[in-house]
Every structure is written in structure tokens, then in C-alpha cells.
Amino acid sequence: MMPIPGHGLAKGLAVTLRTMTRRSHTAQYPEVQPELPPRSRGVIGLFEENCTVCMLCARECPDWCIYIDSHKETVPASTPGGRERSRNVLDRFAIDFSLCMYCGICIEVCPFDALFWSPEFEYAETDIHELTHERDKLREWMWTVPAPPALDPAAEEPKELAAARKAADKAEAAAAAAAAPSPAPAAGTGTGTGTDATPPAGTTPAPGTTPAPPAGTERAPDPGPAPGPERPDDPAGGTA
């Protein structure tokens, strides 16, 4: 098919006219902050209480832009005769954002949930050396990390929650059992639970219990062990 002369020009003019009549969309930054998606990769926040200085993030970072310093501390034994333990104490945690390529590997590999993405992006500097941010700044960014999305209501309960719920139920049941009053003795069933409980009149004491003497009477001397059954081979009929 032969091209119509001037077709390209008409098409270009149509695009120009359409764009001219469309309402412009200008972001009024910095007067108005942009609404970023919650999973934006702005900067990395550090929750240093969770960091055990395992060095995994620094080892896995493809740009080698995470700097960690630490020292060891001895923790005394918690029980007498126990062993002393040593633990790592974080001295420095810094990320050079002039080298970081925002791949997120450090966040993925951290086994203790100490690193998080924050949507914060206003950390431009005029000197490249000032793009290395230390732990205080990384901690400050931690408070800009959005809350995680709500759990799927149809999802299986996490095993940590299930275990915690089970332990709480068990403790509650034990506390309820301890707080419950002991059952009151029924009328005519005696006054105590020990082996010296007074049986009601007309009842036989349970085997192995010693009946209490009636008031005003002395307890009869203990007759000693009851004679055993006769041994068929014992001509005298005595006990062994």
C-alpha cells in the first residue's frame, strides 16, 4: 500500500495536540513530599539490637561497601559453676552509599532481621565522602521503615505464635488450678484428709488408717503387727 503523503506529519501533530490539551502533572517537591510505594528502596536502616556481628551482610555485599568493627566481651556465668561466655559487641557499622547499588542482598541474608529498607531518600551530599553513613544515622533511618503488611487471614499461624499461645494456655491452666479452692468435705464423710481422720459413726476406717479415739478416751496401745497367715508347713501355726 502506498503511503499517504503527509500522514506522518498529521500523526505527529495529533500527538502534540493531545499532549498540549492534557493537564500537566507537576510534583511540587520539596514543598510536597512524594507518596512513595511502601517497598521503595530508599536507604538501609539498621536495628542494631538485633545485630550479632555475624558479618554475613559484609561478606555477601557485592560492592564491599559495608564496614563493621567489633570486639569480644566476656559474659560471666549465669549459674554457679557455669561456663563464662564471650559475645561480640558492635563498635562500628557503616554503609558507603556512594558504592551501594541497592541490590538488597545484605537485607536478604541478615539472619537476625537487623537490616531493613526505608523509603527515605533525602540524603544527597555535595561531597562523595559524606555518603558513608555510620550506625547512628542508619539507626535514625530505622524509624522511617514502614510497618510490615498485615498477615493473610487465611494463612497458617506462624509456628512461633502457635508455640507462644500453647505455653500461655498451659500457664493459665496451671494458675487456674492453683487458685481453685480445695473441695469442701461432704457431710458424714469425716473431717480431714489425713490418715488420722475421724470416720463417721457407723463407718469402717479405710484400710491402713488409724481411727481417732472418741473424745475423753485414751488411745489404746498399738497392738503391733497383725499376725500373718498361717504357713501350711509350720506345725506350730506361728508367724515367721
Of 106 and 197, CB closest to ligand SF4? 106
Q: Name the residue nearer to ligand SF4 (CB basis): 102 or 121.
A: 102
57 annotated ligand binder = yes
* C-beta of 38 vs 62, nearer to ligand SF4: 62
- Point out which residues bind ligand SF4 (CB under 6 A): 51-57, 61-63, 65-66, 68, 95, 100-106, 110, 112, 114-115
- Residue placing its CB nearer to ligand SF4 in the complex, 95 or 197: 95
Least Å from the CB of residue 14 to ligand SF4 = 45
51 is in an annotated binding site: yes
The DSSP line for 11-22 is: HHHHHHHHHHHS
Torsional sign, CA 112, 117, 123, 127: positive
Burial 149-188 (b: 16+ CB within 10 A, else e): eeeeeeeeeeeeeeeeeeeeeeeeeeeeeeeeeeeeeeee
At its nearest, how many Å lie between ligand SF4 and the CB of residue 96?
A: 8
- Least Cβ distance, residue 180 to ligand SF4 (angstroms): 47
Alpha helices (H) in the chain, listed in sequence order: 7-21, 56-60, 105-109, 135-142, 159-179
Does the annotation place 65 within a ligand binding site?
no
First and final C-alpha spacing in the chain: 129
State the cell numbers at 240. Answer: 515367721
Residue 64 CB, nearest distance to ligand SF4 (Å)? 8
Contact at 8 Å (CB) between 44 and 116? yes
Question: Is the Cβ–Cβ distance between 171 and 73 less than 8 Å?
Answer: no
2: left (phi over 0), alpha (psi -120 to 50) or beta: beta
* C-alpha closest to that of 92 among 77, 123, 70: 70
Q: How far apart are CA 195 and CA 21, in angstroms?
A: 102
Residue closer to ligand SF4 by CB (options 115, 197) is 115
| Closest separation in Å from C-beta 137 to ligand SF4 | 14
Q: Nearer Cβ to ligand SF4, position 39 or 83? A: 39
Q: Compute the least distance from the CB of residue 70 to ligand SF4, in Å.
A: 9
Extract the annotated binding site for [4Fe-4S] cluster.
Answer: 51, 54, 57, 61, 100, 103, 106, 110
Extract the annotated binding site.
Answer: 51, 54, 57, 61, 100, 103, 106, 110
